[in-house]
Amino acid sequence: MSTRTDKKQQTRQNLIDAALGLLNQQRSFGSLSLREVAREAGLAPNAFYRHFDDMEDLGLALVDVAGQSLRTVMREARQKLVTSQSVLDVSVNALFDHIAREPQLFHMLLREQGTGSESWRRAIRTEIRYFTNELAEDLERLGQAKERPIADAYTTADAIVAITFGGAGNALSMSADSRSELAARLVLQLRMIMLGSERMAEARD
């Protein structure tokens, strides 16, 4: 890879990092301006257009970064699983740890899911669907390995993701102790979902 290409990719990453650095619990991506992001990245505003068409294009790149980051964390955590029950503990704890390390990414996903443009909302839905599909594959695989199949892997995963993401949104503004209590409560709720799915599979068979 040429030095010119390396520099261009680094500048693009600087813009992404600048936008993330400006986000917090009080500021949404929609409140950021192109000039503000460019200044934070140490660039002239016109240089922005060499890397992104507009702020929405930058936002879509941030959604992609957030989704890939989250899926990587969860995938690495679940690779260590040996039981279908432990998938819940591992998934919730890995997610909450990730939120504590990179709260800006999760703030953005939650906030823009309801207030962003249609292209943003579509991109976020796609990222969540990727996440749900991977979890469904793991649940089905682990259920078969333990001879405890579930009734519908995707529907079960979809319910788990919805509850977990909802709880994780509340965790953003919590203390470490409160976040730990919430994680334990979420795991219990998710175990109930898993138990119901397993019982439905038994009744079906």
First to last CA, the chain: 56
Asked whether residue 129 carries a pLDDT value surpassing 50, the answer given is yes
pLDDT in tens, 10-63: 999 999 999 988 887 677 788 889 999 999 999 999 999 999 999 999 989 998
Give residue 38's pLDDT.
Answer: 96
Q: Average pLDDT over the chain, rounded to whole?
A: 84
Give residue 39's pLDDT.
Answer: 95
By residue range, what is the domain housing residue 170?
55-204
Task: Answer whether residue 153 is part of any domain.
Answer: yes
Asked whether residue 158 carries a pLDDT value surpassing 90, the answer given is yes
Task: Answer whether residue 36 is part of any domain.
Answer: no
| CA–CA dist 13, 68 (Å, integer) | 15
Task: Please tell me the total count of domains within the chain.
Answer: 1
Model confidence at 204, pLDDT cuts 50, 70, 90, reads confident
Task: Answer whether residue 38 is part of any domain.
Answer: no
| CA–CA dist 101, 201 (Å, integer) | 38
Contact 64, 167 (CB under 8 A): no
Task: Answer whether residue 3 is part of any domain.
Answer: no
Task: Answer whether residue 91 is part of any domain.
Answer: yes
Task: Answer whether residue 40 is part of any domain.
Answer: no
Task: Answer whether residue 87 is part of any domain.
Answer: yes
Asked whether residue 84 carries a pLDDT value surpassing 60, the answer given is no
| CA–CA dist 134, 126 (Å, integer) | 13
CATH of the domain at 100: 1.10.357.10
Task: Answer whether residue 141 is part of any domain.
Answer: yes
